[in-house]
Structure 1
């Protein structure tokens, strides 16, 4: 059994036996992962498909909660969808408001210091309620929760790499079909010849220059006003579409010619819809991965321009 060293023993090892100290650090990190895994698997939580199926058979419904950013909620949906398909249970999703947000870097987040607030929930719920596998979606008050989808935040899952859409699968034992569409809306076909862009202030690639898009005529922006004002410096004729809610945003993206975005909420919608889409990958945090048909991503400018030209000519 691994035993953690006392303060002085640890630093004595560090300065007298460097290889031994390196091995000790590895064993310490490994022990932490093992303890976390044991806590998940050995807990009364619904952390595998047998437990989930048995519970669903007895109760007929499953209540999920999520407090993350809107994009994290969208990326949790493939797991929710798969669970609903496997169990046939009614699925209710409750959004927990006001959880603290740690913003790294110098860019601000539109929600300030929380991951989800009332306004964002009001924008998000119409889209979630429209999904055929979700029975109800509303703000969490005191409802009994059966599966807390925030449990991946407890320490083991590395959130700066991999694929966000797999996080909830790791804690429930569900392998969602990420190559398949998991958001369903009626496309707004008035945007059939339009390139839709969304670009948040966070997660930008230092190598991406959007100026060349000024050569494309029918191009519109979705996002907050400050983001629109920023991109207008590079694409002067770009028009802003102000959204009443995220159902309208999804309908716009579903109906567009193709979508361009960085690792922000609108791209999660494009990814879920499986529309033709281009992802601007952040060098610093690569944790969004296009999967399935019509999905493209880039790190370098010439690849960006080539992808836009290809999709525009399709």
Structure 2
């Protein structure tokens, strides 16, 4: 029996053994495949070819080519992480006699402050969406509910699209969310988000299912949020909708993740405990959550410069 190519075996290891999300697995394997292509290798090359061609110097040449082409420090850092993970695994599983990724060190990624909207802007975004939903169009009601849920809970767009109807505990006002690595957490929802969900689930969603245009879809789906055709909503639809909603409301152009940033920042500004916000957002490390305190510090610095007589 012909052994599986190292890259294919590693990809299966990431999916089955590490419990990583499909997006993370795709990014890691894409990085390694790009490195192999730079070296003139096929993705299904065997261990012998890999051993001969995949050296520390060769990997560094690929990283340098990416930097010359304009790759950011964050992208380069991810490339290094991908290659180090792959070569360490390949060495442990006897595909490589030594680990060429071990000497690689990436420069620290730039720490950009997250794009956020202020409280007034967020309120305007939600109120505009609520007002538009008054015409009872199922899709517009759905969009209002999505905006309220992301801003209320700070969940990721992938987590939102994966929600099922039974993830909502209406009596306790919470959502059960499956995050990165398959980890589950429970997040609370505010009253505006619960009101929007009630309107969506009990009035608009049934109308969208009955009136769906694609007759090949199953008669029902357990997805909490549906696309216009009646199936589970796609992340791209959510992203496009949020950009459109921001333009309509006349606020900053926010991506779904920026709306999540906004929710986290406003909770911390309101006095929420950092550890509680970490748990709410599903961050593995509190260091990730601490980025939002930098946003608040920037706001305080601005106020200080404006108010202090010797600033």
Please state which structure has a larger fraction of its residues in strand.
1
Question: Shared fold by TM > 0.5?
Answer: no
- Which has the larger Rg? 2
Please state which structure has a larger fraction of its residues in helix.
2
**Structure 1 length-normalised TM:** 0.26
